[in-house]
Chains A and B, each alone.
Chain A
């Protein structure tokens, strides 16, 4: 895979410092190092797979296949990107195959979609400083999961890769076979839609 510029703007929340050592040990045949990587990332990979496929069985299979493939191809991982980013790419490809199989008639994910110009949102209400703190962890997780599930696949997948998995715009474009402008326009639509859908949970007026 070609190295592309990693995303710089946000501090990464997904990589721990010992990741290169664990990967090196796993490459050298230390299965317990690979187990540590699995236990570290399985929840994230499962959520990624669930958010893309929206099907529990497909998400489980995707996670299995992603880790298996990663293990099989570990010697090809050159360390040009973070291991987690590499794993995400594998998982996304597996998840997309499942999605296409289950929903063959839907719009192709790498097709250009005319998104048009976004208009000024109608619901404009302040959320206050930390609106997510009003919810328990599990309740918040459900709100976020249900809300992203409401987006059409081309939009939720771009948001998932770019804003949740923290891939760069270029990496997202490469993984999905899209142009950079297409990623940007889908991302804008996804962000605005999610903002609008989350408004009912986070706006100040109902909760304070």
Chain B
């Protein structure tokens, strides 16, 4: 296992989609390679930060405008007899 193979398997490793033998050999490499450890750790954090980030609130004007338009259309749909 070398640094290049770690990068190649990075996505499967982070998603825990590797067979145990490969996983163990990656972890053995990581124990002795500071650079790979940092890459694995910061890539994992990249995913976590995006995954946990809350979307910004919509500006009030946009929210009201979009909801009004949406519910106007939904009410129109509801009032139509179903085909």
Contact = CB atoms under 8 A, between A and B. Distances in A.
Interface of A: 9-10, 13, 29, 31, 34-35, 38, 42-44, 46-47, 60, 63-64, 67-68, 71-72, 117-121, 124-127, 131-132, 137-138, 140-141, 144, 148, 159, 163-164, 166, 169, 184, 187-188, 191-192, 194-195, 198-199, 202
A169 B73 CA distance: 35
A100 B58 CA distance: 25
A71 B74 contact: yes
B54 interface: yes
Interface in B28-78: 35-36, 38-39, 41-43, 45-47, 49-58, 62-63, 66-67, 69-71, 73-75, 77-78
25 contacts: A13-B52, A42-B63, A42-B67, A43-B55, A43-B58, A68-B77, A72-B77, A118-B8, A119-B4, A120-B3, A121-B7, A124-B35, A127-B41, A131-B49, A140-B53, A141-B53, A141-B56, A148-B50, A163-B50, A169-B15, A184-B12, A191-B11, A191-B46, A192-B7, A198-B42
B73 to A, nearest CB: 6
B42 A195 contact: yes
B39 A121 contact: yes
Contacts of B74: 31, 34, 68, 71
Given A67-B70, A137-B54, A184-B11, A191 B38 contact: no
Contacts, number: 120
* Chain B, interface SS category: helix
B16 interface: yes
Contacts of A9: 15-17
A153 B39 CA distance: 24
Contact of B57 (A35, A43, A124, A132): A43
Interface residues of B, number: 43
B48 to A, nearest CB: 9
A126 B43 CA distance: 11
A192 B45 CA distance: 11
Contact of B45 (A35, A120, A169, A202): A202
B51 A199 contact: no
Contacts of B54: 43, 137, 141
Nearest to A131: B45
B39 A120 contact: yes
| Residue among B8, B45, B52 facing the most chain A CB atoms (10 A cut-off) | B45
Nearest to B75: A31
Nearest to A140: B53
The 6 closest A-B pairs by CB, nearest first: A47-B55, A43-B55, A188-B11, A195-B46, A124-B35, A195-B43
